[in-house]
Structure 1
Amino acid sequence: MRIAVTYDKEQTLKPLEEAEIIAIIDEEKKEVEQYENPGYGMSKEMTMHAILELEPEAIVVKNQFLCPGSYMMSYGRLKYIPTQYNSLNDVLQHLEEIKKNIREDLDEEMYAEAYPE
């Protein structure tokens, strides 16, 4: 399986537009391909477009990593793997465990926009 992960230079998982790097964990080849994120500092949708071009089957997400637009772009094209881990290393070490949480869709609070109170 090819799994997308978004993170910064310290390999800390980040929401789509805050991630400097888009990675694809290729389980078959047992490697992690890294790409510069063209949507860094821009938008979640721009990052999602770049991710979809890399043709992963799933994406690792945390709360508010996606927005309604990026979620709709990916819905039906990607599966989602929610995680509580915070780094690429943690995800790689616990990959089999977190893959058990793979889902076809997400609860709305996972991708809803955060509104300041």
Structure 2
Amino acid sequence: MRIALVYDEEQNLKPLDEGEILAIIDEEQEVVEQYENPGFKIGKDVTMDAILQLGAQAVIVKQGYLDQKSYDLSKGHLSYMLINKYDTLTDIIENLDDVKSKAIDELTQF
């Protein structure tokens, strides 16, 4: 599975337009691919478009990390892993099975 997330230079999870780094956790290759976030300080929809182009199958988010436009772009293309208790890339990697267990196909709030 290819799982997208956005974080800052200290690896703290951020909303789609507030993190400098767009990453893909590639479980099959057992790597974390890191990219410059094209939507940083521009727009969540720009980041979401990049996530889709990178072939992600899911995105890790917290409440408030998406907006209607980015959600509409991704709905039907991604699963959403809505988390609350993990704050960094390290937390995510160490608890990936728990994070994956939270995957849903639709969100009621962003």
TM-score by length of 1: 0.91
Name the counterpart of 1:115: none
1:98 to partner: Cα distance: 1.3
1:14-33, aligned counterparts within 5 Å? Answer: 14-33=14-33
Structure 2: segments with no counterpart, 5+ residues: none
In structure 2, the residue corresponding to 1:89 is in which secondary structure?
helix
**In 1, Cα distance between equivalents of 2:87 and 2:108:** 20
**In 1, Cα distance between equivalents of 2:56 and 2:26:** 9
Q: Does 1:36 align with 2:48?
A: no
**In 2, Cα distance between equivalents of 1:73 and 1:19:** 19
Percent identity among equivalent residues?
Answer: 48
1:48-87, aligned counterparts within 5 Å? Answer: 48-84=48-84, 85-87=86-88
**In 2, Cα distance between equivalents of 1:4 and 1:98:** 12
Structure 1: segments with no counterpart, 5+ residues: 112-117
- How many residue pairs are counted as aligned between the two chains? 109
1:71 to partner: Cα distance: 0.3
**In 1, Cα distance between equivalents of 2:99 and 2:39:** 26
Q: Please tell me the residue identity of whatever aligns with 1:56.
A: A
**In 2, Cα distance between equivalents of 1:20 and 1:33:** 14
1:101 to partner: Cα distance: 0.8
1:107 to partner: Cα distance: 1.8
Q: Please tell me the residue identity of whatever aligns with 1:3.
A: I
**In 2, Cα distance between equivalents of 1:106 and 1:12:** 23
Runs of 4+ displaced beyond 4 Å: none
1:83-102, aligned counterparts within 5 Å? Answer: 83-84=83-84, 85-102=86-103
TM-score by length of 2: 0.97
**In 1, Cα distance between equivalents of 2:36 and 2:105:** 27
Q: Which structure carries more helix by proportion?
A: 1
Name the counterpart of 1:114: none
1:19 to partner: Cα distance: 1.1
